[in-house]
Structures are given as structure tokens and as C-alpha cells.
Amino acid sequence: MPSKKSVKASQIKSSPKSSKSRSPQTMNNFDVENFQQKIKMTTPLSLNNREETYSSLKNGIVLNIIGGIVAIIINVNALVWLNKLETIKCECSGHWMREYIKYYLYVAIPVFIINLIIYLYAFAANDYSVLLSNNNPVMSIYRGFVGIVSLFGFVNIFIAIIFINKLKEINC
């Protein structure tokens, strides 16, 4: 069996390389430059388009910030409207749908605010690891919670449409 030195020497001799001298540490069983070129061709986050990826990620963060602000404004206005219906003691709006929408908004508005804070941090600090990290258990739990809130959000959309149509039918 050949020794490690003879294998490395044979690899260096048999591989067509440029005139650069390479240490044995860079030639462990494969050519580093060829490997890096293969990685560049097969991965979307290669060194050539990393700046483009970060640019598109930053644009996505800006859109999420704008969307978060709009969502907070809409949901706060909906909550104010529902509370107004309660304070004027509107009998025709006293329905389980109003209660569902109100309690959903009590949960959704803080979630929107937390998301806005996370995206503002990522944008201001230019740190996308908080958004891309799957290793943080707190963020994993939070993402699961946001997923559940989103499911209730889809239900909330249908209930809100039915509730508003019901109020229009009875001219409330």
C-alpha cells in the first residue's frame, strides 16, 4: 500500500494544473478549484450571484415592511370599528362572528407588529440570518405559531365577508 506522501505526490504529478505551486493540504483527494467551479454551476448562492440574491432578499424585506405596516393599519381600523359597534350597543351586530373577528385581531395585531420588528431589524442591521436561520428554536416555535395564526386568518377573511354582508342586508 502506498504511503500518503506518495499518493499526494502522484496526484500532483498526474493532474494537469497551472504553474502555481500547491501545498499537499490543498490537494486532499480533489482539486479545490475544480470543486469550487462545480459548486458555482450547481448552487443558486454561488459567489457570482450572491450580491444579486442579497439584493432581491433586501427588496423582499422592504415589501414585507410595507405590507406589515398596511396590515397593521387595516387591522387596527377593523378593531376600532368592532369596538365602536360594541360601545354604541348595536344589537344587530351582536353575533358570534363579531367576537371571532375581534379576538382574532387581538392575536393577529401583535403578530404583525413582531413581524414588522423582525423585518425592520433585518433591514436596518443588514443581517438576514434572523430570517434564514433554521437553527434557532425560538424562531422555529414562532414560525409555527405564525402558521397557525395564518390558518385562522384565512377563516377570518371568510367570516368577515359574511359578517359585513349580513350587516348590509339588515341595514345596520
* Highest averaged pLDDT of the listed ranges 35-39, 98-102, 123-127: 98-102
Cβ-Cβ contacts under 8 Å for 3 (sequence gap 6 or more): none
39 versus 33: the higher-pLDDT residue is 33
Q: Tell me, what's the pLDDT at 46?
A: 46
- Please give the mean pLDDT across all residues of the chain: 76
pLDDT in tens, 58-83: 888 889 999 999 999 999 999 999 99
Lowest mean pLDDT among 76-80, 91-95, 146-150, 157-161: 91-95
Q: Tell me, what's the pLDDT at 161?
A: 93
Q: Residue 25 domain-assigned?
A: no
Q: Residue 84 domain-assigned?
A: yes
Q: Residue 155 domain-assigned?
A: yes
pTM of the model: 0.64
pLDDT-derived band at 47 (thresholds 50, 70, 90) equals very low
Q: What is the mean pLDDT of residues 19-33?
A: 49
Question: How far apart are the C-alpha atoms of 119 and 146, rounded to whole Å?
Answer: 14
Q: Residue 154 domain-assigned?
A: yes
Domains identified in the chain, total number? 1
| Residue 103: domain span | 63-169
pLDDT-derived band at 94 (thresholds 50, 70, 90) equals confident
Q: Tell me, what's the pLDDT at 5?
A: 47
Q: Residue 32 domain-assigned?
A: no
pLDDT in tens, 127-155: 777 776 777 788 888 889 999 999 999 99
Q: Residue 24 domain-assigned?
A: no
Nearest to residue 115, comparing CAs of 162, 168, 153?
153
pLDDT at 26 over 50: no
Q: Residue 38 domain-assigned?
A: no
pLDDT at 43 over 70: no
Are the CB atoms for 102 and 31 separated by under 8 Å? no
Are the CB atoms for 151 and 72 separated by under 8 Å? no
Helix, strand or coil for residue 83? helix
Q: Residue 33 domain-assigned?
A: no
Q: Tell me, what's the pLDDT at 121?
A: 87
Rounded (10°) angle between helices 50-87 and 96-125: 150
